Structure 1
Amino acid sequence: MTTTQSDPSLRATVLTAPATFSTTPAESPRPGVGDVLVRVAETGLCGSDVTMYLGRHPVNRPPLTLGHEFHGELLSAGEGTSARPGDAVAVFPALSCGECASCRRGATNLCPDMGIIGAQRPGALAGVVTVPAASVLPIDPATPPGLRVLIEPLAVALHAVNRAGPVAGRRCAVLGAGAIGTLVALVLRHRGAEAVHRIDTDGHKLSLVDTGIARHGDGRPLAEVLGGEHGELDVVLDCVGSAELAGQSLGAVRPGGTVVLVGVQHGAFSLDGVALQRGERAVLGVQLYVLADFTEAMRLLAGEPLFSGLPESLIRRNAVGDVAEVFDRLARGVSTHLKETIVFAGKENPC
C-alpha cells in the first residue's frame, strides 16, 4: 500500500469535470510494494486525453489526473526494474492483471482489467507519480531528449501497423495527419510499403513531415480523394475515429484488403456487409499496444534516422500552468503542431 506525506511544494492538476481543471496541493507519494517513484519531465497530450477532457471518452470520465505519454527521472527503485535512481526513464502506462488468458499469451492490452496510468491511476499531471516497477524502462542516452515524448505514440503506431500484417510492397492509405497518423505513415515507409497516401482536411499538418505521397482531402468522400486508387488499396488505417470514414474505408480497399481502426471509436456504425463478405475484406480494431511495441519504439527513436531525425520543432512545449489553454486549443482543433506537451522543468517553447 502506498503511503503519503505532506509536501507544500507539490501540486497536482486534476480534471475535476469536463473541461475543468483544478490545481491543488498534493501529498508527496511514497512508493508501496512493487511501485517506484518517477518525477515527470514531460508528458504528451493526445486525442484520447482530449476525449476524456471533454467528458466523451467511452470508458474514462472525470475526475482524472491525466497524462500517459510521459518520461522523467526515476526517484526510487525497487524489485522488478533494471533502472536505478537518477536514470532517465520512459513509463509503459498500460496496466493489466498478468494472470488472465490474454495476459498469459502476451496480449496484455486485451486484459479484461486493463487500465492506464493517466486514468485508472494518477498520471503525469501529478508531477510526481508512483508506477509499477515493471513499467519503467531506462531510456537509451542516444535518444534525442526532445523526442523522448514520442515513445508512447510511436508504440501506438507500431501496434496499429502490426495489426495490418506485413506491409512491404503494399499500397496503403493513412487517414489523419496528427501525431499518430504521421507516425503510422513513417512506420509504413520504414517497413517498405510501396505507396503511402496520407489524407487529412488539414493541409498544414500534412506538410509538417515528409512521409511519402500526401493528398489533401478537403472533406471529400474517400473514393473521390483517392481517384483511381479507389478499391485498389491493400490497407487503410483510420487514425481519425470517424464512423463515416470507417464505412468509406471499406470501399477503398481491394478484395482481400484490410481496414484498421486506430482512432477512438464512439459507438455503433454501419458497414457494407456485401463488400465485407464477398470481397473477403477485413476490419480490425486497435487497442493500445503491448510491451514489445513500446520497446521497439524506444529502439527506433534511439537509432533509426527516419525517427530519431524528426525535427523537435514539430512539438510545442507548454508550462503546466497553461494546461487548460492547451486542452482548449486541442479540443478546438487549432493547434499548429504535430504534438502538444506539458513540461515540468521550465523548458517550454510556447511559440
Structure 2
Amino acid sequence: MKALVYTGPKSVEVREVATPAPVAGAVKVKMRFCGVCGTDIGIFSGRHPRAKAPLVLGHEFVGAVSEAPAGSRFAVGDRVVAYPLISCGECRPCRTGTPHVCQTLRLIGIDRDGGMADHLWVKEDVLFKVPDGVSDEVASLVEPLAVVVRSLHQAQFQALDSCVVMGAGPIGILTAIVLKHAGASKIIISDIDEARLAMCRDFGFDAVNVRETNLIEHVNAVTEGTGVDIVFECSGVESAALDMTKLARVGGMLCITATHKVPHAVALIDINFKEQRLVGTRVYTLQEFGDSVAFAGRIADDLSKLITQVVPLSDAASVFDMIADPSVNAVKILVDCQA
C-alpha cells in the first residue's frame, strides 16, 4: 500500500509499504484524511527523541471501517477517528486515572506507524464514530481540538473570562476559536505572521503583530491596566515565557499549551507578587477526545476555515516544503489519503 514514510532527518518519501497484518481486537480503517501536525514537523526535522525511521507519519486521521471483527460495535462504512495515545497501564499515572500522562506514553504515528497511508488497523476501544453531518475534513481536526479542550479544562476557563493567546499557529488559532464558542469576553491573539493574523481578524479576534505593537502595552491599554484572566502560551518561544506573567491580572492563570523544548526564563516574582497560577497541559484524556468528536460538529463552520491546503498522498512528500515556505500561507494542511 502507499504511505508517507519518514526515512531520516529532513527526508520523507511516498512509497509502497507492506500491507499491515490484521490485529486481534482491531478494526481495519481505510484512511480518508490525515492532518499534518507540529509533531510531524519535529519528526521530519530529526529532532523528535522517539520517532525512528522508517516510520509512517500521521496521528490526526479520519477514515471509514473496511473490516471489523464479529460482534464489533462498528460496521463496514462507519466513519471513525482514533484516540492515538498508547499508555502502559502499569505506571502510577495509569493506575491513578491519568493514563494520558503515562510515564512511557506512546502515540500512533510517532512510536508506531500512523495514518498517512491507505489503511491502518486500530484497536476498537480507541475508535469513535463521526456524527452524520460532520465532513471528513472537519473530523480530521478532532485530535488538535481535543488538545485545546484539555487546555481550557486545565486553565479552569469560565464563560466571560478575558484571554490572551500567544501564538497564531494551528493550536493557537484553534484555542481562540474554542474560547469564542465557550463565551470568552475578550480574545487577544499575538503572532508575527501577518497572514495568520489576518485570518484571526476574520474570526473577530483582537490580533496583534508583536513586530509592530508591544503586546504588554496593548493588553494594558485594552484592560485598563488590569491584565487578562488567562494567558494561553501556544507559541513555544523564549520571549513569550518571559512576557506571559505581565499579561495576566493579579490572581490570573498562565496555561502552558506549547511544548518548550529548552528551559526559558520566567518572571517568577510576578507569580509571587500577583499570586498567579501556572499550569501545564499535555494532550487529552479519552473522555475529552470523545467529547471533542461531538463538539467538532457544533463548530464545524469555523473549523473548516483552518484548513488552508489539501494535498494528495501521492504528492505528500512536498508538505514540509510547503510549511517552510512563507508564501504558501499554510495553517492546516490535510493529506488526502485516497488521492
The TM-score, its normalising length taken from structure 1, stands at 0.88
CA 1:196 to 1:311, structure 2 compared with 1: closer, same or farther past 3 Å? closer
Match in the other structure for 2:267: 272
Name the amino acid aligned to 1:47.
G
Aligned counterpart for 2:162 among listed residues 163, 171, 184: 171
CA 1:79 to 1:107, structure 2 compared with 1: closer, same or farther past 3 Å? farther
CA offset digits 1:270-316 (Å, max 9, x no partner) = 212211223221222221111122112111122x2xx1223745421
Secondary structure, aligned partner of 1:29: coil
Moved more, 133-142 or 100-109: 100-109
Name the amino acid aligned to 1:102.
P
Structure 2: 5+ residue runs without aligned partners?
Answer: none
Q: Is the 8 A contact 2:149 2:292 kept in 1?
A: yes
**What is the CA–CA distance in structure 2 between the aligned matches of 1:258 and 1:80, rounded to whole Å?**
47
CA 1:240 to 1:311, structure 2 compared with 1: closer, same or farther past 3 Å? closer
**Within 5 Å, which residues of 2 pair with 1:25-36?**
25-36=16-27
Match in the other structure for 1:223: 216
Name the amino acid aligned to 1:218.
V
**What is the CA–CA distance in structure 2 between the aligned matches of 1:157 and 1:311, rounded to whole Å?**
13
Whether 1:345 and 2:338 are equivalent positions in the alignment is yes
Whether 1:139 and 2:134 are equivalent positions in the alignment is no
CA 1:240 to 1:17, structure 2 compared with 1: closer, same or farther past 3 Å? same
CA offset digits 1:301-333 (Å, max 9, x no partner) = 22x2xx122374542100112222211121345
CA offset digits 1:221-240 (Å, max 9, x no partner) = 53134342465111111111
Name the amino acid aligned to 1:120.
D
Match in the other structure for 1:310: 302
Identify the structure with bigger relative contact order (alpha carbons < 8 Å, sequence gap 6+): 2
Match in the other structure for 2:317: 324
**What is the CA–CA distance in structure 1 between the aligned matches of 2:271 and 2:74, rounded to whole Å?**
48
The TM-score, its normalising length taken from structure 2, stands at 0.90
User: Percent identity over the alignment?
Assistant: 29
Q: Is the 8 A contact 1:231 1:251 kept in 2?
A: no
Once the two structures are TM-superposed, the CA of residue 12 in structure 1 deviates from its matched residue by 2.7
Name the amino acid aligned to 1:232.
G
Q: Is the 8 A contact 2:313 2:337 kept in 1?
A: yes
Moved more, 196-205 or 71-80: 71-80
Q: Is the 8 A contact 2:270 2:276 kept in 1?
A: yes
Match in the other structure for 2:189: 198
**Within 5 Å, which residues of 2 pair with 1:200-215?**
200-209=191-200, 210-215=202-207
CA 1:171 to 1:283, structure 2 compared with 1: closer, same or farther past 3 Å? same
**Within 5 Å, which residues of 2 pair with 1:249-260?**
249-260=244-255
Match in the other structure for 1:299: 294
CA 1:178 to 1:132, structure 2 compared with 1: closer, same or farther past 3 Å? same
**What is the CA–CA distance in structure 2 between the aligned matches of 1:98 and 1:190, rounded to whole Å?**
35
Moved more, 273-282 or 209-218: 209-218
Aligned counterpart for 2:61 among listed residues 70, 73, 77: 70
Q: Is the 8 A contact 1:58 1:266 kept in 2?
A: no
Once the two structures are TM-superposed, the CA of residue 334 in structure 1 deviates from its matched residue by 4.5
Structure 1: 5+ residue runs without aligned partners?
Answer: 1-9, 347-351
Secondary structure, aligned partner of 1:188: helix
Once the two structures are TM-superposed, the CA of residue 86 in structure 1 deviates from its matched residue by 2.0
Aligned counterpart for 1:234 among listed residues 220, 229, 245: 229
**What is the CA–CA distance in structure 2 between the aligned matches of 1:311 and 1:215, rounded to whole Å?**
18
Once the two structures are TM-superposed, the CA of residue 61 in structure 1 deviates from its matched residue by 5.1
Secondary structure, aligned partner of 1:118: coil
Once the two structures are TM-superposed, the CA of residue 58 in structure 1 deviates from its matched residue by 4.8
**What is the CA–CA distance in structure 2 between the aligned matches of 1:335 and 1:17, rounded to whole Å?**
25
CA 1:266 to 1:200, structure 2 compared with 1: closer, same or farther past 3 Å? same
Aligned counterpart for 1:83 among listed residues 74, 77, 84: 74
